[in-house]
Structure 1
Amino acid sequence: MTRIFETPLYPYTRSPDQDAAEPRRHTVIVVGAGPVGLAAAIDLAMKDVPVVVLDDNDKVSFGSRAICFSKRTLEILDRLGGDPGLVEKGVTWNLGKVFFGDRQVYGFNLLPEEGHKRPAFINLQQYHLEKYLVDRVTELAAQGKPIEIRGGSRVTAVERQANGVTLSVETPDGPYRLAADWLIACDGANSPVRAMLGLDFVGRVFEDNFLIADVKMEAEFPTERWFWFDPPFNKGQSALLHKQPDGIWRIDLQLGWNIDKDEEKKPEKVIPRLKAMLGEDVAFELEWVSIYTFQCRRMERFRHGPVIFAGDSAHQVSPFGARGANSGIQDTDNLAWKLKLVIDGAAPESLLDSYDVERVHGADENILNSTRSTDFITPKSETSRLFRDAVLDLSERYGFARPLVNSGRLSVPCAYDGLPLNGPDAAGLPARTRPGTPAADAPVKGGWLSDRLGGGFRLMTIDADAPDRLDFDQIAVERIALTAADDPSGMLAERYLGSAGSAVYLMRPDQHVAARWTNYDADAVAAALARATGRA
């Protein structure tokens, strides 16, 4: 049976652009058809922005790669036209366990409260997500949306112009040139686009390596994240176990710094390591093996005129914490609506500078957490190791020590606290839904709040009066009118009302809170919208 990552999904076909006398111009070109590039293209096409995706490949990625997709990512995918089968295909989990040696020292629950449409995480091989996104592109194109993927199309040169960019593209039929108003580079940590433009990518490389193995087996481990410090099967190092769909298990084993990577990837080296962990009698097959080195890096700026970087091309973190793909999809969630407004002339081009400000803020938060995790997992001195081991011992019996245990702080949605697009706040409303935060989901009459918010500006009122629709200089704001009758569980009031009797929230198209009040004020809403769209 042909495996999904062996099947061409967008094979090369000759484009009319290749026969044009002059470079054909496109509104947006996305380089890279991984999860981040595809999410960006889908978001733009749904907003009727013409977009072309270029990729030198014609199929999804080989190997599980990114596997942990967070609640926030799932909510974004829902907005992009999510297929419920995607979550059903994934392995849902909220629970994790941490082991020190051969004993469990504590467990955790990443989503202990009820009232959310999506779980804390699903585990799903990256190739399944990419296949879903490619299918979504095909579906949108069939509906007449302006989106296209060109496989077998490798970008070999990028030139910035006064009014956009010009690209050279290599294909099986030879090279040709394209022009674009905007270029979004989603071409990975080794970004050729970034290199062609001579841009920076600086940070820290940690002196350690991990073996990743996708193992097909039948096993009785529960659907939880298991992390070991100094396990008996990998003494002095660490290990991680995750369940995936299709009987595949993801195993990460710390190897240390001075290793021969090519040698360590050989089956005769990998299989004994796995048998030491799983037991000599456990039957398994190796599906994919790789070795990665911890790295935490980012570009100084993510926007360079008409060229905008997203995902691993802009920032890279070590994989513990599931921050790579999740933060990349949050990049595109932040970017697409801003680029749409700029293209339509509904916002100044300077609005795109807020993408740089907000997502650099998100990248720094991820790098900080990832660096702390890496330092705890791989202590660089004997003193650090003694401290870590003492914390692990104490965490088995004492609650105060457990927050200090860091086996990878799991990805959480980024809050843009104190950043320029945020409008006013009101006293008495809950801190968790302050301006800059992503909307907290809650059950409402007939479904979920996250589904009601959609992908445009919304004025959400709770027991407050306001017009059903507002129009401000080409920007429409639709009202979501909610009352106590829409909140039978009381969770909406808990998350959005607090001690106030009523509330009015201005929501951005990426479902982040722009501003909030206890009552509607037309002038205040207009001023907050101007600020949120870079016109203040």
Structure 2
Amino acid sequence: MGRADRLMAHSDPEPTFDAQVAVVGAGPVGMTLAGRLAQMGVRVILLEQHPQHTGEGSKALCMQRETLEIWARLGIGEEVARRGVQWNLGRTYFRGRELFQVRLPSSTRDHFPPFVNINQTEVEAMLLARINELREVDLRWSHRLVGISQDAGGVSLRCDTPSGERTLRVAYLVGTDGAHSAVRNAAGMGFPGHSFPDLFLICDIRARLPFPRERRFFFDPPWNPGRQVLIHPQPDDTWRIDWQVPPGTDVEAERTSGGLDRRVRAVIGPTTDYELLWLTPYRFHQRLVERFRIGRVFLAGDAAHLVSPFGARGLNSGVADAENLAWKLATVLVGRASDDLLESFHTERREAALENLAVTDASMKFMVPRGRLRRLLRNAILRGSLRLPQLRRLVNSGRLAQPFTYAGSPIVVADERDAPIPAIGSVAPDAPCRSLDEANVTRLRELFGRGFVALLVVASPREAAMAAIRASRLAWPAPCRIVAIGADGPLAGVTALVDSEGEIRGAYGEAGSSAYLVRPDGHLAAWIPLKRADSVDAMPGLLAIAIGG
């Protein structure tokens, strides 16, 4: 691993530490976190209670663009996008008639599509292969957490292992071990929320079907009257069909009696050959921990929050949890920030989870309304929307995941512009560009994820050079790469880029010269106008705020 891949250097752990961080749960969230920590020079023990990776079925399916960007930093994003089914259109139907379609925003600035469908098991295999390449990650199978204790200096973990019980000592512990999290239980954290009684059934089938590569949601179709069906494409002629089924449905009995076959053929046609790959019934839950952090113990992914699957907000938000926490732990462990920075993980990601809960709860209240009056109202809206297009905005078939904006975060500097483009706290936009030095950068987001970036978008080459050179000579409280947009030649200590297709100015606003501070997770931490060359002198102070100073 080269120096550019770890602007945050190793810190020497206490001699008694087995590693700096322990991550419990080697699913997609845990492996993403362990991999990103390793890239930042942090030694990680990754514990998994199962003896090996044994994925089955599609599980989580829809991978969001920003999730692909995070995985691109880890080295698998391109492979996930290449293997998956790319889509940007969702259609919603009622009784066989299309009510509306939603085309997800995409532009020439974006490298990845809005969504890629690929089964979670295949992504886990890619992550596992990458994790095995990182010497900083010590992956230990058949390690089941049975207890924890923490003090001012670290966390001790007791694990059942094939060779008996063993105690490990680390500086920080992260639970990414799912809905029944052993870390959450051992830390005494509750998991308040509620569960929906409605029963759903997922089938993965392989068949050659004339269906389009898009999300299709059906209210009250003739082949599942009074209930819903969702259809998603997957690679290799594989399809997910997700039915709402009557309470008390016995899936195994249906499989034996031929009822399941009739259910599938009602969707795909009576004579189409198909292979059943996987099926599982499920109920969904809306739950959220009160705290994402207690001292040196953290929770991420399903261990911290559960939402319904309609909207693809589960795995995607878990990967965002991992990316948010990785750079903060690394910054604290290297000694560039106090422990206070870690509290912002709870603040930022719990707000994101609250938004996901609110959005998915509204979706489920429309899809499966509780009580006679709510069901009558829902049905009236659906029937009325066939005749009155203005009612269609009330139809909720799942609001698809979007990256969260940390607008109210204590480590994001408030933006005083009337119409900020882009909003501070949001994910920094991508755009094509061309390098003026050996960096060979072709798009902005290639620069993100390895430390902070000071992005100077300057109107004239002379101003760009002056501001960039001055910024490169400042004393920064944490490593920060200076990137100058608008320079006309290489600059010492600066990454000089050309807005080769005019997209950067469009993405970052047209008004004058500006400086943006981009965090290691790709979110914008601050913005200032560059009215003079010495305006950049304020940037190190903004970075100090961004690391909790």
Normalising by structure 1, we get a TM-score of 0.90
Q: Which residue of 2 aligns with 1:483?
A: 486
Query: Match for 1:493 among 487, 502, 505?
Result: 505
What stretches of structure 1 of length at least 5 have no aligned partner? 1-21
Distance 1:390 1:120 in 2: 32
How do 1:86-105 residues align onto structure 2 when only pairs under 5 Å count?
Answer: 86-105=80-99
Q: Specify the SS of the correspondent of 1:514.
A: strand
Residue 415 (1) aligns with residue 420 (2): no
CA contact (8 A) 1:468 1:478 kept: no
Distance 1:320 1:195 in 2: 27
Q: Which residue of 2 aligns with 1:17?
A: none
Q: Which residue of 2 aligns with 1:526?
A: 540
Q: Specify the SS of the correspondent of 1:140.
A: coil
Distance 2:529 2:377 in 1: 48
Distance 1:374 1:267 in 2: 31
CA change 1:451–1:200 in 2 (3 A) is: same
What stretches of structure 2 of length at least 5 have no aligned partner? 1-14, 435-440, 459-463, 489-497
Distance 1:223 1:468 in 2: 47
Q: CA deviation at 1:512?
A: 0.6
CA contact (8 A) 1:211 1:252 kept: yes
RMSD of aligned Cα (Å): 2.1
Q: CA deviation at 1:258?
A: 4.4
How many pairs align?
508
- Which residue identity is paired with 2:508? Y
Residue 149 (1) aligns with residue 142 (2): no
- Which residue identity is paired with 2:361? T
Identity %: 39
Query: Match for 2:124 among 130, 148, 156?
Result: 130
How do 1:451-462 residues align onto structure 2 when only pairs under 5 Å count?
Answer: 451-462=446-457
- Bigger drift between 475-484 and 287-296 goes to 475-484
Query: Match for 1:369 among 351, 354, 359?
Result: 359
Distance 1:111 1:126 in 2: 24
Q: CA deviation at 1:431?
A: 3.0
Residue 380 (1) aligns with residue 370 (2): yes
Query: Match for 2:298 among 308, 316, 324?
Result: 308
Q: Deviations over 1:407-446 (max 9, x none)?
A: 1100000001122111142536x53412111112222235
Q: Which residue of 1 aligns with 2:422?
A: 433
Q: CA deviation at 1:468?
A: 5.1
Q: Deviations over 1:254-312 (max 9, x none)?
A: 01444456656768442221122222212112111111112110100010111100000
Q: Specify the SS of the correspondent of 1:475.
A: coil
CA change 1:296–1:284 in 2 (3 A) is: same
How do 1:56-95 residues align onto structure 2 when only pairs under 5 Å count?
Answer: 56-57=49-50, 58-95=52-89
Q: CA deviation at 1:484?
A: 8.9
Q: CA deviation at 1:453?
A: 2.7
CA contact (8 A) 2:471 2:536 kept: no
Normalising by structure 2, we get a TM-score of 0.88
Q: Which residue of 2 aligns with 1:5?
A: none
Q: Specify the SS of the correspondent of 1:204.
A: strand
Distance 1:190 1:265 in 2: 29
Q: CA deviation at 1:470?
A: 5.7
Q: CA deviation at 1:398?
A: 5.2
Q: Specify the SS of the correspondent of 1:207.
A: coil
Q: Which residue of 2 aligns with 1:169?
A: 159
- Which residue identity is paired with 1:100? F
Distance 2:138 2:447 in 1: 29
Residue 502 (1) aligns with residue 505 (2): no
- Bigger drift between 273-282 and 224-233 goes to 273-282
Query: Match for 2:214 among 208, 224, 227?
Result: 224
- Which residue identity is paired with 1:521? S
Residue 273 (1) aligns with residue 263 (2): yes
- Bigger drift between 211-220 and 264-273 goes to 264-273
Q: Which residue of 1 aligns with 2:22?
A: 29
Q: Which residue of 2 aligns with 1:139?
A: 133
Q: CA deviation at 1:159?
A: 2.1
Q: Deviations over 1:51-107 (max 9, x none)?
A: 010101211421110010001101111112235222110000001111101111111
- Which residue identity is paired with 1:497? G
Distance 1:268 1:346 in 2: 63
